[in-house]
Amino acid sequence: MPRLPQLTVETADEEQRELLEGTLKQLGKLPNLYAALANGPAALRGYLAMRQALVGGSFNARQREQLALFIAQHNDCTYCVSAHTLRGGKVGLSDRELLDTRHGTDAGDPHMDQV
């Protein structure tokens, strides 16, 4: 089965490179998902626009990561669970809170309690 290459700033063409550099500036690193999406610049532009719109919503960073982690767990996506566990830790979620979030419980925030 063919796979999309994981582009880097060095292997990308000019349009892709501009998008990847913007991603690096925004996130501080280049996740594999973004590196693959850059193969179709329109796809990466759309994904980045969606991400930016969601960041401008009413949830704070912690709540966004909890929601993303809960959905990743529900979807049984190991890659996404790993990524959002890492990001959750960076926004201040403790190991216990990360585990509770994966199971849909958070006694500290009733808005995030899914049980």
What is the C-alpha to C-alpha distance for residues 79 and 84, in angstroms, rounded to an integer? Answer: 9
pLDDT, tens only, 67-107: 999 999 999 999 999 999 999 999 999 999 999 999 988 65
Residue 113 confidence class, pLDDT cut points 50, 70, 90: low
pLDDT, tens only, 38-50: 999 999 999 999 9
What would the two tokens of residue 70 be?
């809960």
What is the C-alpha to C-alpha distance for residues 44 and 114, in angstroms, rounded to an integer? Answer: 31
Provide the percentage of residues in the chain whose pLDDT is more than 90. Answer: 69
Find out whether 91 and 65 touch, Cβ atoms under 8 Å: yes
